[in-house]
Chains A and B, each alone.
Chain A
Amino acid sequence: SQKIEQNSEALNIQEGKTATLTCNYTNYSPAYLQWYRQDPGRGPVFLLLIRENEKEKRKERLKVTFDTTLKQSLFHITASQPADSATYLCALEDTGGFKTIFGAGTRLFVKA
């Protein structure tokens, strides 16, 4: 069955450091991979989308990589700030489109 795993339930880092979150998947061939941020009690907010034929995408302090051979995506937040503390979700969309599966999420805590 299709499975998405995000490396850890929680990640604690010091302000100013780079946070690296991992998303691994099995039995799936996604056409698109997305990363979202979710704060408690709110809907997810889109951050980055990367397509299967792309290796890397950047947006300000965010970077995502996508390795379809390893079936893995890495999400980096550089120069992290306490305001980056939130749950980060990876989501895969299949080639047919629309069917989106979310990983369990990683709760990031950035300490000042």
Chain B
Amino acid sequence: DTEVTQTPKHLVMGMTNKKSLKCEQHMGHRAMYWYKQKAKKPPELMFVYSYEKLSINESVPSRFSPECPNSSLLNLHLHALQPEDSALYLCASSPNRGNEQFFGPGTRLTVL
């Protein structure tokens, strides 16, 4: 299995809702990433987990809360988001640092 899966594909939520994005890989990769991508912009790194520990947090607002329950799963918990948080949220994994990243198809998030 050489793919990264993300659910849901699309999500529409209000500013008071709580929702979660899920990412899964079964390639044995030890690093997992969350990126945010706005239209016609490059992916922006949000969080990195290495060996299930949070390694990088790019000063992301606390309304985004990552979680890595095990080496195959990565979640992004969303609460009290703003309309400007609407974007494509991409998950990626890599064997370790200095390796290619495998990206999932993304979750298209719309905040009303």
Contacts and interface: CB of A to CB of B under 8 A. Distances in A.
Interface in A22-60: 31-32, 34, 36, 41-46, 49, 51
A74 to B, nearest CB: 19
A99 B97 CA distance: 9
B1 interface: no
Interface string A82-112: 0000000100010011111111110000000
A98 B100 contact: no
A97 B97 contact: yes
A90 B51 CA distance: 26
Contacts, number: 59
B44 to A, nearest CB: 8
A46 B97 contact: no
Contact of A46 (B48, B98, B101, B106): B101
Contacts of A43: 4, 90, 92, 103-106
Interface residues of B, number: 27
A34 B97 CA distance: 12
Given A97-B97, A98-B50, A104 B103 contact: no
B102 A98 contact: no
Given A43-B105, A46-B101, 20 more contacts: A34-B101, A41-B88, A41-B108, A43-B106, A44-B90, A44-B101, A44-B103, A46-B100, A96-B97, A97-B96, A97-B98, A98-B50, A98-B55, A98-B56, A99-B56, A101-B45, A102-B44, A103-B42, A104-B41, A104-B42
19 contacts: A32-B98, A34-B101, A43-B4, A43-B92, A43-B105, A43-B106, A44-B90, A44-B101, A45-B103, A46-B101, A46-B103, A51-B98, A93-B98, A97-B98, A98-B31, A98-B50, A98-B56, A99-B45, A103-B42
